[in-house]
Amino acid sequence: MKEILKQIHDLNTLSSLVVCAIQFKGNRNQPQKSKDRLIQLIHQAALNEADLIVLPELALSQYLFRNESEARMYSERFKSEGSTHYELCQIAHQLGIWLIGGFIEAGAGGLFNSAFIANPNGEVARYRKRLLFESDEIWALD
């Protein structure tokens, strides 16, 4: 994580940095269709020379859950092969971009509202949200 943070700091030395924030709302009932559309938007942003692409918080699962078991259906272990966020990180590496996006992390003791940070070199780090809103507290740990 420290190495990725240093690399993020080093982005300040670039003469230009193209940042793209993707507006997207996934459909829980059609996860594959949502993932395919999000990947298409990432490719489109990269083709438009984006260096850093930022996805919405919990873009694929959406944000609000009635309880922890509902959120758990969309959870993934950090950097687990086959997980959606890991696939997105691999795409970032293939495209040579930075990518930041949210996912529900299944971790020790429960679920976390987490973000992954993928760099062009294929390295991946995560951040766990610490200031939870009431809607997060239903399912996420801080």
d(CA 105, CA 77): 6
Residue whose structure tokens are 């976390």: 112
d(CA 92, CA 84): 12
At residue 52, the 3 state secondary structure works out as strand
pLDDT for the residue 31: 87
Please name which of 58, 53, 69, 55 lies closest in space to residue 27, comparing C-alpha atoms. 58
Mean pLDDT of the 103-126 span = 95
pLDDT digits (tens, 9 = 90+) for 20-54: 999 998 888 888 999 999 999 999 999 999 999 99
pLDDT for the residue 15: 74
pTM for this prediction: 0.88
